[in-house]
Structure 1
Amino acid sequence: MVKLLKGLKPFTLSIVIIFTFTFIRTITELFLPTLMSDIVDTGIVEQDIGYIAKVGAIMLLIAGLGALCSILTSMLSAKTGSAFARDLRNKVFEKVENYSLKEFDEKGTASLITRTTNDITQVQNLVVMLLRMFIRAPLMAIGGIIMAINKNPNLSLIIIVVVIVLGIIIGLVASKSIPMFKSMQVKIDKLNLVLRERLTGIRVIRAFNKVNHENNRFNDANKDLTNTAIKVNKLMACLTPILMLLFNFTTIFIIWFGSFKINNGAMQVGDLMAFIQYVSQIMFSLIMLTMIFILIPRASASAIRINEVLEVVPEINDPTKPIETGSKRGYVEFQNVSFRYNNAEGRALEDISFNANPGEVTAIIGGTGSGKSTLVNLISRFYDVTKGKILIDGVDIREMSQGYLRKKIGLVPQKAVLFSGTIIDNIKYGKEDASRDEIVKACEIAQATEFINDMKDKYDSVISQGGTNVSGGQKQRLSIARALVRKPEIYLFDDSFSALDFKTDAKLRQALNKEIVDDTIIIVAQRVTTVMNADRIIVLDEGRIVGMGTHKELLSSSDVYKQIVSSQLSEEELA
């Protein structure tokens, strides 16, 4: 928690102003009972209307000043707390943006969303409460005790007993609530995970009639969270009536013992009324502290989870002195590369060596799980190799900055991803300053012009979140256009033609071959027709290269390739 609260440093001036207003407000509240005591003991007893009016006017001014300070304190506290939470969310988001895919896999998307939203909100609530109550509660408690002792030292012994009892109650509640608050945050993670899977996988769920199954999963997670929330809220709900009961009994004892002192002439009626008000202020300040203690366990649990995100050291980092120049352009070389996913039993890739040169098309083909997409992810440095080297332009990619490396690459991922916005916005994701002519040309090469022109607003047509208002093939073509407008040295097509019909696939590859002459193209594909004209075909099987060459060479030298071809093409097509 302390680490996170250091983020309040930019708001030092606001905090000083808040504390100043809080101090003034507390002093005004402590001063009012004494003035009321004077009105009773002097004005009313002596029936001095002028004195009552005079002191009453002073009380109104003091109360008005206190109210103004209260309003300003609340406004500044809310503003500072919101700004602190905004900065913390930005900090967490920027940190997560620098994660490698390994860290994403470990933390989980649902948990990261919860930590960025719900957990930061819990910390924000505590910060606002601290700003409003941190100075006021102790000042009011200490000031109330001093003023109460000033009115009657003997009667003040009751306060000591009350404080001890209240401390025991708060301690018991805190010891029970802290574990439950920690548990609640974990259960919110689980609920978010189930909800996210339900929303993203709705088509599959309905297709397999698993709606009831998913409803049960959600209900189980929801009930688990609800039951924990009910338990902790029951515990907190008991606290308020106990505190009020304690306050009422304290008031009864004060009036009981105070009445004897008034009869004995040791105390005046006004002083007893002021004493009761000071005790109520002390009790109120202790209740405020209790509210803070209620928030602290949950906020502390959230702070731990936020710090876990911020303290992660990404596996992939830029070198201290990155090399950002190479003697070549567009050359990709794998030197005995092996890779294993975290906690996986075996290696996804084993001893991979090959070259991909400018002006050539290098195709990668193989069965499901053979390591094709993993290989592409290694070139983009989403993961670091376990063994060996990947060189681009003669430089180990681990010696380059990630930004420089990825400027050289135009990636079209296996799963086409579009963002909410217009078609132009999505294509400009590849190049922010791309002109409309560049965008149109990229779309023409990607064979996307026809369906774009059929849309109502053409290039200004809005793409909904996740690209749900376009087909799979249209998403792939827009993703290809996004990579083309970038004009990189190296193009990575990770099974990017799978949703295209054969005619569109052929036209697109023909347009690519004409346009991309001096760049390196690496294509991952399932279709033999997509790769058979490549300059170099790499056949992968269980993470190993089992064949490399042209289509004709592999037909005579690679049994795995021959099996793939025979499963897709007829004898006439082979001939």
Structure 2
Amino acid sequence: MNSRTRKFLSYYKPYIGLLAADLACAFIVSAITLLLPLCVRYITINVLEEQRPDALSQIYLMGVVMLGMVIIHTLCDMFISYKGHMMGAYMERDMRSELFDHFQKLSFSFYDEHKTGQLMTRATNDILSLTELYHHGPEDLAISVLKFTGAFIILMYIDVKLTFIVFMFFPVMAVFAFYFNKRMNKALRVSKDRIGDINAQVEDSLSGIRVVKSFSNEQVEKEKFEYENRRFVDSRREGYKSETYFHEGLVGFTQLITIAVIVFGGAAIVDASLELADLLTFFLCIGILIEPIQRLVNFARLYQEGITGFDRFMEILEVEPDIVDAPDAIELAHVRGSVEFRNVSFKYKEDYGEVLKHVSLHIKPGEYIALVGPSGVGKTTFCSLIPRFYETSEGSILIDGIPIRDVTLRSLRRSIGIVQQDVYLFSGTVADNIRYGNMEASMEEIVEAAKRANAHDFIMALPGGYDTDIGQRGVKLSGGQKQRLSIARVFLKNPPIIIFDEATSSLDNESERAVQQSLEQLSENRTTIVIAHRLSTVRNAQRIIVLSDDGIEEQGTHEELIGKKGRYAHLYEMQLRV
């Protein structure tokens, strides 16, 4: 048994009692289905043909027995249908939770390579197809085996020759089913990839709907969607074709079996080697024999859909996070805020060039530094390495003298606050978004954080104040308002190290001033690292670090760097001319 099979079966473990009850009901249903034709045979042969004096009472008695079996059959079927489906839903829930937890552990590099819509498909459609398989799989197999075996025994008891004629069809059916089953699996895999592409396209278009409308490019997005939609239809065409051949071919075989029974059974009656009552029972059992075949056909379809989804589910689950806690990682506590880079180099992939090259820098506790330089020299990458969003290719980074690889990710990231240019706010209220900085915070603490971020006044002017729903990604707020909420969130977190990633570069002058005041208040008595394109905003930094393609080119105060007439002075003069 390989690891994926063990993993597949492991989801039954919490519900083993429910599975046992489901299979017990399946056994009872199968047994009753097999007993009913025998009851008919008893009435036709033992009662009617023998013309017993108590024939009427025997028929009524057998009718009561059959009625009781039908009631039990119905109750067991109801249990299988309801409880069995719920078992599948519970397992689907567990798998989706496990996948979401795994998504949370994966590193930024994983999300750099995968589309959100594709990942959403793995968490929804792919797992949804497993619910029916987890429920109907064991049940269909158990019922099919029991009914098939039982029907075979009864058929052999009635007429051996006729039974062998029937079973001559099965090897041909098996080869036929195997071939088209394989084609179905391939087509289903492609189809699931295509629906993922559709989800990715929809997610991309709707997320950028304001850009789409501003450029009047609705037709462009429609054409992109139609292209993905056509590819999906093409993939389904091949899948439906294989499924049709598979299903209808097996139905045709079962009809041939019925014809064979009629022809050879009728001939046996003519030869007086088979009685009419036995042929009637034989026909009833053939019906029972065909039903497991139909179940197996249905199981094959569910299996292909489910196992294809499970394979895609496992492909994500088997991706190991690039960045994990070391086995002996310690908690980072009482952080003063010293940050040190020791000969740090970084590249995103093996075949990519280095973004940072041999950077060494020591930032003292409480120091305010600014990172400047042209686009693409690694300023954002520099800051992303401190909370270990990415792993250094060479060298090490230390917080208070402790290598960040030796501390837990949770305690490291708890000590760092990040205010980004592209603010992400969640759907919900203003208070919910500020509370994200500290989920244990009281309403009073939230209000205090908003005041310190110069956000309280505009929040109170909103229709619902702190209870105002801000829409998806804070669409109902201006850029400056969203930025101040993100700063309030960091105030509430109260970390000893702050990173500002071009937090004011996209704001108008008035919003920039309000946000700048909030940033200055937030940076008091904290180690602060600011990435800035507008050099005028970092003139008061205690130290300015000038990055180039070769690493740190210059560092010093604004006045010192102007006096050197180097890269910083050139950049500053260029901005003054604009």
TM-score interval w.r.t. the shorter chain? over 0.9
Q: What corresponds to 1:40 in structure 2?
A: 44
Q: How far apart, in 2, do the equivalents of 1:229 and 1:141 lie?
A: 33
Query: Does the alignment pair 1:217 with 2:224?
Result: yes
What SS is found at the alignment partner of 1:463?
coil
Q: What corresponds to 1:123 in structure 2?
A: 130
Q: Which AA in structure 1 matches 2:37?
A: P
**1:182-234 deviation line (CA, Å, top 9, x unaligned):** 21222222222222211112222333343222222211111111111122112
- Deviation of 1:324 after TM superposition, in Å, equals 2.6
Q: How does 1:318-357 map to 2 (within 5 A)?
A: 318-325=325-332, 329-343=336-350, 345-357=352-364
Q: How far apart, in 1, do the equivalents of 2:565 and 2:98 lie?
A: 52
Q: How far apart, in 2, do the equivalents of 1:331 and 1:136 lie?
A: 68
Q: How far apart, in 2, do the equivalents of 1:89 and 1:76 lie?
A: 20
Q: How far apart, in 2, do the equivalents of 1:445 and 1:357 lie?
A: 25
Q: What corresponds to 2:17 in structure 1?
A: 13
Query: Does the alignment pair 1:472 with 2:479?
Result: yes
Contact map agreement 1:476 1:499 (CA 8 A) in 2: no
Q: How does 1:88-167 map to 2 (within 5 A)?
A: 88-167=95-174
Specify which of 533, 544, 567 is matched with residue 537 of structure 1.
Answer: 544
Which range moves more in the overlay, 530-539 or 232-241? 232-241
**1:135-160 deviation line (CA, Å, top 9, x unaligned):** 11111111111111112112111221
Task: Identify if the C-alpha distance between structure 1 residues 190 and 235 changes in structure 2 by more than 3 Å, giving closer, same or farther.
Answer: same
**1:15-70 deviation line (CA, Å, top 9, x unaligned):** 11111111111000000011112223344443833222221221111111111111
- Deviation of 1:343 after TM superposition, in Å, equals 4.8
Normalising by structure 2, we get a TM-score of 0.94
Query: Does the alignment pair 1:23 with 2:30?
Result: no
Q: How far apart, in 2, do the equivalents of 1:306 and 1:245 lie?
A: 35
- Deviation of 1:569 after TM superposition, in Å, equals 2.9
Q: What corresponds to 1:246 in structure 2?
A: 253
- Deviation of 1:264 after TM superposition, in Å, equals 4.1
Q: Which AA in structure 2 matches 1:211?
A: E
What SS is found at the alignment partner of 1:135?
helix
- Deviation of 1:267 after TM superposition, in Å, equals 2.6
Q: What corresponds to 2:503 in structure 1?
A: 496
Task: Identify if the C-alpha distance between structure 1 residues 327 and 487 changes in structure 2 by more than 3 Å, giving closer, same or farther.
Answer: closer
Q: What corresponds to 2:317 in structure 1?
A: 310
Specify which of 79, 95, 98 is matched with residue 72 of structure 1.
Answer: 79
Gaps of 5+ in 2: none
Q: How far apart, in 1, do the equivalents of 2:249 and 2:516 lie?
A: 76
Specify which of 217, 236, 240 is matched with residue 233 of structure 1.
Answer: 240
Q: How far apart, in 2, do the equivalents of 1:252 and 1:515 lie?
A: 85
Specify which of 167, 171, 175 is matched with residue 178 of structure 2.
Answer: 171
Q: How far apart, in 1, do the equivalents of 2:317 and 2:178 lie?
A: 31
Q: Which AA in structure 2 matches 1:31?
A: L
Q: How far apart, in 2, do the equivalents of 1:543 and 1:420 lie?
A: 42
Normalising by structure 1, we get a TM-score of 0.94
Query: Does the alignment pair 1:552 with 2:559?
Result: yes
Specify which of 169, 193, 205 is matched with residue 212 of structure 2.
Answer: 205
- Deviation of 1:80 after TM superposition, in Å, equals 1.0
RMSD, matched Cα: 2.0
Gaps of 5+ in 1: none
Contact map agreement 1:546 1:558 (CA 8 A) in 2: no
Q: How far apart, in 2, do the equivalents of 1:485 and 1:295 lie?
A: 50
Query: Does the alignment pair 1:271 with 2:278?
Result: yes
What SS is found at the alignment partner of 1:65?
helix
Contact map agreement 1:371 1:543 (CA 8 A) in 2: no
What SS is found at the alignment partner of 1:134?
helix
Contact map agreement 1:445 1:512 (CA 8 A) in 2: no
Q: Which AA in structure 2 matches 1:471?
A: S
Specify which of 374, 397, 412 is matched with residue 367 of structure 1.
Answer: 374
Which range moves more in the overlay, 215-224 or 45-54? 45-54
Percent identity reads 32
Q: How far apart, in 2, do the equivalents of 1:515 and 1:478 lie?
A: 13
Contact map agreement 2:480 2:511 (CA 8 A) in 1: no
Which range moves more in the overlay, 380-389 or 468-477? 468-477
Name the count of aligned residue pairs.
571
